[in-house]
Structure formats: C-alpha cells, structure tokens
A = this chain, B = another copy of it.
C-alpha cells in the first residue's frame, strides 16, 4: 500500500494489522453496542498520542472528565498527568448538556429540542495546534437531526478537521448509528466495530473488533477477539 503517515492505535498488535496505525489527519469511526469497549479503544489511542507528545482533545458527551480519567487509570493507561500539564484537554460537554437541560426544563420547556443539534459548533472549541481529537459519543447529536442534516454537519466537521491536520476518532453508539441509517460510515476514512458475541464453538461470550474499512490500507477481514484487562486491551489468537 502507498505510504501514509500513521498514528499508533495504542495497541501494538492492532497496529500490525492495519499497516502501522490509524492514518494521520484522517477520521476513524468506532461504532458498537453499550459496554463493548468503544471508549477503551479511544483511551488507548489518546494515551499513546499523549505519550508521543501530541496535543489532544477529548469531547466527552456522556461522562465527566473525572470518570474518564479514572477509567483510563483502571486499564493501565493513566491520563491525569497529561490532563494536568495541559497537553490533554477534556471538554465537559456532558455536564453542560445536563445543566442546560435542567435550565431549559426549569424555565422554558419549549427549547429542549435545540440542545443537541450543533456538531459544527464543536469546531470552535478545538484549539489551533491540536493534533488529535476524540469525540465520545457523537451519537448524541443524532437525536434531533434528519439523516441529511447530520450528514452535512458530520462531513463538514470531518473535512474541516482534516484541513487543520487533526486526526479524529469518533465514537458512536450502535443505536444512534442505526437510527441515522448507518450513514456516518461513508464519511469517514476508517470504520471499526466493537461487539460482544457468543462464540458458536465454545458457547462463551467474547469481545470482538471488526475492521470494516480503512481506505488505502490492507485490512484483515475476520473479526479480532480481545479482552479488557487491568493493563488494557489484549488481542487474542484466532
């Protein structure tokens, strides 16, 4: 395959399966069910980027920064140091959403549908010299948009970030992905899906990553089994 600069996924074995990592200045969508390991994959990536000296931003729409930092530590990928020294910023979008909803509900019930409809607005919050952005979870923006609106905003965001030389990982819950008609998949450069499934041979449940698409990259077709351990993601043999 043609040479592209790559950013390590933070999981060495995964890097090897996709030509060295996620393509730089491009977008990766991670979609999956609740609890399947999407955020863990995101933490690995951000932790590695911090280690490598990148400027990182996390836009957390469903957790507090504190919970996220604590989860990172629990899988052996501590981020507090970077958060404290400013090389990692975490936006409190979850809390802003909750607070705004409370205000709206308390004072004026009419406006609630406008809370979650501005993907593009995220652009203004990303500082100029940012290298990597993680948005967890972009699905919240689908609740009040038509597929057409979502796609226009989503494409514009991805294109603008790419032009600013930002590599972006977008996490999206599977419910939102399906509600919006799976259209996010077509706007991104790479697409991963995490899931938990019964192994038909052993009967046990296991975690899987499917690499559905990475443009310009040779990818494995078969799902990759993995575990989440106190030292993070471990890929399993086939």
Q: Is the CB of A4 within 8 A of B70?
A: yes
Stretch from A10-18, A52-60, A145-153 forming part of the interface with B: A145-153
Decide: B148 and A143 in contact? CB cutoff 8 A: yes
CB-CB under 8 A for A98 and B156, given A2-B74, A191-B35, A215-B63:
yes
Q: Which of A143-184 contact B (CB under 8 A)?
A: 143-144, 146-149, 151-153, 155-156, 158-160, 173, 175-176, 179, 181-183
Q: Which of A184-238 contact B (CB under 8 A)?
A: 185-187, 189, 191, 196, 204-207, 212-219, 221-223, 228, 230
A97 in contact with B205 (CB, 8 Å): no
User: Within the assembled complex, what's the spacing in Å between the Cα atoms of A177 and B188?
Assistant: 19
A139-B186, A204-B221 known; A104 vs B74 contact (CB < 8 Å): no
- Tell me, rounded to whole Å, the shortest Cβ–Cβ distance linking A99 to chain B: 8
Contact in complex: B34, A185 (CB < 8 Å): yes
Q: How far is the CB of A58 from chain B (nearest CB, A)?
A: 15
Residues of the B chain whose Cβ atoms lie less than 8 Å from the Cβ of A213: 34-35
A121 to B120, CA, bound (A): 27
Within 68-118 of A, Cβ neighbours of B (below 8 Å) are at 70-71, 73-74, 94-95, 97-99, 101-102, 104-106, 112-113, 115-116
Interface residues on A, range: 35 or more
Is A143 a contact partner of B153 (Cβ separation < 8 A)?
no
Chain B minimum-CB-distance residue to A230: B1
Which chain B positions have C-beta within 8 A of A143?
146-148, 151, 183
* Pairs across A and B, CB under 8 Å, 28 listed: A34-B182, A34-B185, A35-B191, A35-B214, A35-B219, A67-B216, A70-B216, A71-B216, A95-B159, A97-B152, A98-B155, A98-B158, A99-B159, A101-B120, A105-B156, A112-B149, A113-B146, A113-B149, A115-B148, A116-B151, A139-B186, A143-B146, A144-B146, A144-B148, A173-B185, A175-B185, A196-B221, A206-B221
Q: Which A residues form the contact surface with B (CB < 8 A)?
A: 1-2, 4, 33-35, 39, 62-63, 67, 70-71, 73-74, 94-95, 97-99, 101-102, 104-106, 112-113, 115-116, 120, 137, 139-140, 143-144, 146-149, 151-153, 155-156, 158-160, 173, 175-176, 179, 181-183, 185-187, 189, 191, 196, 204-207, 212-219, 221-223, 228, 230
